[in-house]
Structure 1
Amino acid sequence: MTTLTVTAKGQVTLKKELLAHLGVEPGQKIEVNPLPDGQLAMRAARRKGGWEKAFGILAGKTDKVATIEEMNEAIAKGWAGLK
């Protein structure tokens, strides 16, 4: 168990290992929910929006049109950790 100190302003700083456990990086948000018996539940905040927001983000950035085969090859290389 990690013990944290509350400042005079009522703030708490989470240690790096706790942030890493949550998968949170600087600038990201954390959700905290009160539980019974004075406990808190904490997790990384979910990003709002879905894939629909990202759809078309690259439209107009290039003149190249990839074939299905080229897209499948790029996906396979990405999953394999290759460039």
Structure 2
Amino acid sequence: MTSATVTSKGQITIPVHVRTQLGLATGDRLEFIFNEATGRYEVVPATRSVTALKGIIRKPAKPVSIEDMNTAIAKQGASAR
């Protein structure tokens, strides 16, 4: 089993073979996901490409014009004051 030590600042160094298996490079981000079924956290790389986001929001029933968007933004801004 691989282990790491938490520093006083809450930091750890991920062992090289774990970084390699996860495909991590300097500057990459990790996500910590709580698995309710097991009661444990899962660590996964947050290295998805933008194309992975395609389809998560469905298309509007009718097209929205730039003018409609600007109007909605202005209304929201006015109500926030």
- If the length of structure 2 is used for normalisation, what is the TM-score? 0.51
Larger RCO (alpha carbons 8 Å, 6+ apart): 2
Equivalences, count: 51
Q: Which residue of 1 aligns with 2:50?
A: 49
Distance in 1 between the 2:18 and 2:28 partners? Answer: 14
Distance in 2 between the 1:26 and 1:11 partners? Answer: 15
After TM superposition, give the deviation of residue 30 of structure 1 in Å.
1.3
- If the length of structure 1 is used for normalisation, what is the TM-score? 0.50
After TM superposition, give the deviation of residue 33 of structure 1 in Å.
1.0
Q: Which contiguous aligned blocks of 4+ residues in structure 1 show a shift greater than 6 angstroms?
A: none
After TM superposition, give the deviation of residue 35 of structure 1 in Å.
3.0
Q: How does 1:1-83 map to 2 (within 5 A)?
A: 1-36=1-36, 39-50=40-51
Distance in 1 between the 2:42 and 2:23 partners? Answer: 15
Distance in 2 between the 1:11 and 1:20 partners? Answer: 19
- Give the match's secondary structure for 1:4: coil
**Unaligned runs of at least 5 residues, structure 1:** 52-83
- Give the match's secondary structure for 1:31: strand
Distance in 2 between the 1:38 and 1:11 partners? Answer: 22
Distance in 1 between the 2:13 and 2:22 partners? Answer: 14
Identity %: 31
